[in-house]
């Protein structure tokens, strides 16, 4: 046979299953893209000690107490006898989620401690057989979810299991790693329990695997295949390992600073723990939660917000209150979240975020900082047919002026708005366009005259393959080589004097910021040299665990409207802590 024909037959034969697979993935992920907002529930035996062991508060996450306090299996197992959550009411859990506007619930079926929250024939270490409660919590939730029309999903810790000698993580009871047989644990507990979860609880939305650690490609593949074979419409989370998930999971409490191309979800804590801790009262405010929800949606992702029920079986009241506040906002503004895709702009906006609906074509402007009287948006190419406030049931049209400035090339949209914000946290302006939404995607100065140049939209210059890279939020990390530099092209419509400011990011929980680097920023034929010093913090509600630090580099004059390039070149990078220059963005702030 002609080799060309043979090659094309082979190509088709190989491509077919891949197409079939991606087709199926598109089908199974449709509900999840529509949902955008879900409830995470971390619940297990760790709710009994609630962050305290033998009278001592144990630092860290509540569900990690067995590991943090190195509690022997024989002792930790005793907690099962005390686990009797008599106040648990599945309908109440589901009502709290539904009232918040959440469309799915993902509950820990088995966390790293190895204890199953369902009646499992595979191991007696489960809620039905080992506790005085004797009720199958997952079964009750599956009935309640089906009644209320929410999707039920299961978290399952596939690699870490501190109860089993062959699971990963328990080095205090089982110190001899050479005696470990992970495959045995995987074959005898993981596969059969996942099979139970997908067989005994009706249709499941997704399995949230976690911390893949040392799992092999073959084992991850086998898990994903098992899920998809038993329930073809069930999704597999990104943390199944080896990139085999149906969508990506962001790091805990991490929100990308830029748009993400793949489907993604971020898990977020309401306070600082997943599993209940009686002393953790560091609750996020409703404003932070609503802003995060809108931000995640504006970057094309799902927001999975956690509650940690107590050992009595109730969701803590501060959690219930905050979720009710989010629900109050969602009842009015849900259209701007459900079934939307991200912002059409590749960069962030100073006043809030944007979500988009394809059919019928809508742009939702989530205004966190209400300007009063007039709202201005640059770069809108489509004709805006109508504008109104989502909070206004009568949809009274707002006066709109749309103008293309031939001299500067600027597309300017002006909307007359009421002086007072319809919502103190996030007021949504709806724009209806003629045909699909089209915008200018080049970086440009904003109506507040500020120019923000995000690291993830820079051109990278390096002699060889650049060593600097972006973390999962889109922040530069590993910028240790001073020969590597960044540049941005952007549009200025309102010239003048500007302060050049660099925004850098600390590592998680703020302790690990590294400064002292000397850099040169060049723009409009002028160089400014400055030091990355701590000249103040920037509020960062989308990533409250990572402090943003502002460094003032110097002043530049931009003489006239037009196109400019700014380059940022390091003269010296301090890398004692090996973090280097962790750049979020460079800003030109109008100097008054
Ligand atoms: C994991 C668990 O260990 C934790 O107990 C909780 O269930 C959480 C949702 O997931 O912790 C992680 C996993 C991944 C990252 C951080 C914490 N990550 O990728 O940054």
Residue 507: pLDDT band with limits 50, 70, 90? low
Q: Which atom of ligand 1 is nearest to the CA of 252?
A: 16
What is the rounded distance in angstroms from the CA atom of residue 367 to the CA atom of residue 421?
Answer: 9
- % of the chain beyond a pLDDT of 70: 95
Q: Which of 85-99, 206-220, 248-262 shows the lowest per-residue confidence on average (mean pLDDT)?
A: 248-262
Residue-level pLDDT at 554 = 96
Tell me, rounded to whole angstroms, the distance of Cα 512 from its chain centroid: 22
Average pLDDT of the residues in 204-220 = 97
Residue 236: pLDDT band with limits 50, 70, 90? very high
Residue 8: pLDDT band with limits 50, 70, 90? low
246 alpha carbon – ligand 1 mean position (Å): 18
Q: Which atom of ligand 1 is nearest to the CA of 267?
A: 9
Residue whose CA is at the smallest distance from ligand 1 atom 18: 251
437 alpha carbon – ligand 1 mean position (Å): 37
585 alpha carbon – ligand 1 mean position (Å): 27
Residue whose CA is at the smallest distance from ligand 1 atom 6: 274
Task: Using alpha carbons, list the distances in angstroms from residue 319 to 104, 308, 326, 570.
Answer: 17, 9, 11, 45
Average pLDDT of the residues in 62-71 = 98
Partners of 567 in the beta sheet? Answer: 487, 522
Within 101-136, where are the H helices? 127-130
Residue whose CA is at the smallest distance from ligand 1 atom 12: 252
Q: Which atom of ligand 1 is nearest to the CA of 111?
A: 7
Closest CA to 462 of 480, 450, 446, 445: 480
- % of the chain beyond a pLDDT of 90: 86
Per-residue pLDDT for 393 more than 50? yes
What is the rounded distance in angstroms from the CA atom of residue 149 to the CA atom of residue 292?
Answer: 25
Q: Which of 87-96, 204-213, 375-384, 543-552 shows the lowest per-residue confidence on average (mean pLDDT)?
A: 543-552
Are the C-beta atoms of residues 553 and 502 closer than 8 Å to each other? yes
Q: Is 251 in the pocket of ligand 1 (CB under 6 A)?
A: yes
Average pLDDT of the residues in 489-500 = 97
Share the mean pLDDT of the chain.
94
295 alpha carbon – ligand 1 mean position (Å): 21
543 alpha carbon – ligand 1 mean position (Å): 16
Q: Is 63 in the pocket of ligand 1 (CB under 6 A)?
A: yes
Residue 4: pLDDT band with limits 50, 70, 90? low
Pairing of strands 206-209, 235-236: parallel
Average pLDDT of the residues in 33-49 = 99
Q: Is 252 in the pocket of ligand 1 (CB under 6 A)?
A: yes
Decide which of 560 and 506 is more confident. Answer: 560
Q: Which atom of ligand 1 is nearest to the CA of 250?
A: 19
Q: Is 61 in the pocket of ligand 1 (CB under 6 A)?
A: yes
User: Residues with Cβ < 8 Å from 258, sequence gap 6 or more?
Assistant: 299, 346, 347, 348, 454, 456, 457, 474
Name the residue of 250, 252, 274, 277 to mutate for ligand 1: max ligand atoms within 8 A of Cβ. Answer: 252
State pLDDT tens for residues 13-33: 545 445 556 889 999 999 999
Q: Is 211 in the pocket of ligand 1 (CB under 6 A)?
A: yes
Identify the sign of the CA torsion 115, 119, 123, 124.
positive
Name the residue of 210, 251, 275 to mutate for ligand 1: max ligand atoms within 8 A of Cβ. Answer: 210
For the chain, the maximum distance between any two Cα atoms, rounded to a whole number of angstroms, is: 78
Identify the sign of the CA torsion 458, 462, 464, 470.
negative
Residue 508: pLDDT band with limits 50, 70, 90? low
Are the C-beta atoms of residues 388 and 364 closer than 8 Å to each other? no
Q: Is 263 in the pocket of ligand 1 (CB under 6 A)?
A: no
Per-residue pLDDT for 471 more than 50? yes
Residue-level pLDDT at 544 = 80
Partners of 223 in the beta sheet? Answer: none
Q: Which atom of ligand 1 is nearest to the CA of 274?
A: 6
Average pLDDT of the residues in 257-267 = 85
Residue-level pLDDT at 16 = 47
Residue-level pLDDT at 17 = 47
Q: Which atom of ligand 1 is nearest to the CA of 160?
A: 3
Residue whose CA is at the smallest distance from ligand 1 atom 13: 211
Residue 512: pLDDT band with limits 50, 70, 90? confident
Residue-level pLDDT at 262 = 87
395 alpha carbon – ligand 1 mean position (Å): 43
Residue 261: pLDDT band with limits 50, 70, 90? confident
Residue 124: pLDDT band with limits 50, 70, 90? very high
Q: Is 274 in the pocket of ligand 1 (CB under 6 A)?
A: yes
Name the residue of 208, 211, 264 to mutate for ligand 1: max ligand atoms within 8 A of Cβ. Answer: 211
11 alpha carbon – ligand 1 mean position (Å): 39
Residue whose CA is at the smallest distance from ligand 1 atom 19: 251
Per-residue pLDDT for 410 more than 80? yes
State pLDDT tens for residues 412-431: 999 999 999 999 999 999 99
Are the C-beta atoms of residues 398 and 429 closer than 8 Å to each other? yes
Question: Could you give the strand order of the β-sheet that contains 518-523, starting from the edge strand earlier in sequence?
Answer: 459-461, 485-492, 562-572, 518-523, 526-531
Q: Is 210 in the pocket of ligand 1 (CB under 6 A)?
A: yes
DSSP SS3 for 272: coil
Residue whose CA is at the smallest distance from ligand 1 atom 17: 252
Average pLDDT of the residues in 193-210 = 98
Residue whose CA is at the smallest distance from ligand 1 atom 8: 252
Q: Is 472 in the pocket of ligand 1 (CB under 6 A)?
A: no
Q: Which atom of ligand 1 is nearest to the CA of 61?
A: 5
Per-residue pLDDT for 345 more than 50? yes
Residue-level pLDDT at 207 = 98
State pLDDT tens for residues 159-177: 999 999 999 999 999 999 9
Residue-level pLDDT at 6 = 55
Q: Which atom of ligand 1 is nearest to the CA of 108?
A: 7
Give 189's DSSP letter.
I
State pLDDT tens for residues 534-571: 999 888 777 788 889 999 999 999 999 999 999 999 99
Residue whose CA is at the smallest distance from ligand 1 atom 7: 274
Residue-level pLDDT at 575 = 86
State pLDDT tens for residues 269-328: 999 999 999 999 999 999 999 999 999 999 999 999 999 999 999 999 999 999 999 999
Residue 257: pLDDT band with limits 50, 70, 90? confident
210 alpha carbon – ligand 1 mean position (Å): 7
User: Residues with Cβ < 8 Å from 342, sequence gap 6 or more?
Assistant: 259, 260, 297, 298, 299, 300, 301, 355, 356
212 alpha carbon – ligand 1 mean position (Å): 10
267 alpha carbon – ligand 1 mean position (Å): 9
Per-residue pLDDT for 5 more than 90? no
């Amino acid at each position: 046979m002609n080799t060309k024909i043979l090659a094309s037959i082979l190509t088709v034969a190989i491509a077919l299953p891949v197409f079939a697979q991606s087709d199926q993935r598109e089908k199974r992920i449709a509900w999840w893209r529509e949902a955008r907002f879900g409830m995470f529930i971390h619940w297990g035996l760790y709710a009994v000690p609630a962050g305290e062991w033998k009278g001592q508060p144990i630092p860290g996450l509540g569900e990690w107490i067995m590991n943090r306090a190195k509690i022997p299996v024989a002792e930790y197992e005793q907690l099962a006898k005390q686990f009797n959550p008599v106040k648990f009411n599945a309908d109440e859990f589901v009502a709290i989620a539904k009232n918040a506007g959440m469309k799915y619930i993902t509950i820990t079926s088995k966390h790293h401690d190895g204890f199953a929250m369902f009646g499992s024939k595979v191991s007696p270490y489960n809620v039905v057989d080992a506790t005085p409660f004797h009720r199958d919590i997952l079964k009750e939730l599956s009935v309640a979810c089906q009644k209320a029309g929410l999707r039920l999903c299961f978290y399952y810790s596939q690699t870490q299991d501190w109860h089993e000698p062959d699971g990963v993580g328990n080095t205090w009871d089982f110190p001899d790693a050479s005696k470990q047989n992970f495959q045995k644990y995987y074959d005898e507990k993981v596969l059969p329990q996942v099979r139970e979860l997908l067989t005994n609880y009706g249709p499941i939305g997704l399995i949230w695997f976690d911390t893949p650690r040392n799992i092999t490609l073959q084992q991850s593949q086998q898990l994903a295949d098992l899920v998809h074979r038993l329930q073809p419409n069930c999704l597999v989370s990104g943390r199944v390992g080896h990139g085999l998930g149906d969508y990506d999971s962001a790091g805990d409490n991490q929100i990308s600073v830029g748009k993400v191309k793949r489907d993604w979800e971020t898990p977020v804590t309401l306070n600082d723990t997943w599993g209940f801790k009686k002393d953790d009262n560091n609750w996020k405010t409703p404003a932070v939660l609503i802003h995060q929800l809108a931000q995640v949606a504006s970057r094309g992702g799902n927001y999975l917000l956690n509650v940690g029920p107590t050992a009595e079986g109730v969701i803590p009241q501060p959690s219930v209150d905050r979720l009710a506040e989010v629900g109050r906002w969602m009842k009015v503004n849900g259209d701007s979240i459900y079934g939307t895709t991200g912002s059409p702009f590749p960069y962030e906006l100073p006043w809030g975020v944007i979500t988009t609906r394809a059919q019928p074509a809508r742009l939702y402007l989530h205004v966190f900082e209400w300007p009063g009287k007039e709202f201005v948006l640059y770069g809108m190419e489509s004709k805006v047919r109508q504008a109104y406030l989502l909070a206004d049931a009568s949809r009274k049209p707002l006066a709109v002026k749309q103008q293309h400035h031939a001299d500067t090339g600027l597309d300017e949209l002006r909307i007359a708005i009421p002086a007072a914000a319809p919502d103190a946290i996030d007021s949504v302006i709806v724009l209806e366009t003629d045909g699909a939404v089209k915008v200018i995607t080049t970086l440009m100065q904003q109506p507040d005259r500020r120019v923000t140049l995000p690291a993830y939209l820079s051109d990278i210059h390096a002699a060889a393959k650049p060593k600097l890279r972006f973390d999962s939020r889109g922040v530069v990390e590993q910028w240790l080589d001073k020969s590597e530099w960044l540049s941005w092209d952007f549009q200025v419509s309102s010239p003048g004097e500007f302060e050049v400011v660099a925004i850098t990011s600390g590592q998680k929980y703020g302790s690990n910021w590294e400064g002292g680097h000397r850099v040169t920023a060049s723009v409009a034929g002028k160089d400014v040299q400055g030091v990355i010093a701590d000249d103040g913090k920037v509020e960062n509600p989308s990533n409250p665990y990572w402090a943003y630090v502002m460094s003032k580099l110097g002043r530049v004059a931009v003489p006239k409207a037009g196109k400019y390039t700014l380059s940022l070149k390091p003269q010296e990078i301090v890398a004692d802590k090996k973090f280097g220059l962790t750049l979020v963005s460079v800003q030109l702030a109008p100097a008054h």
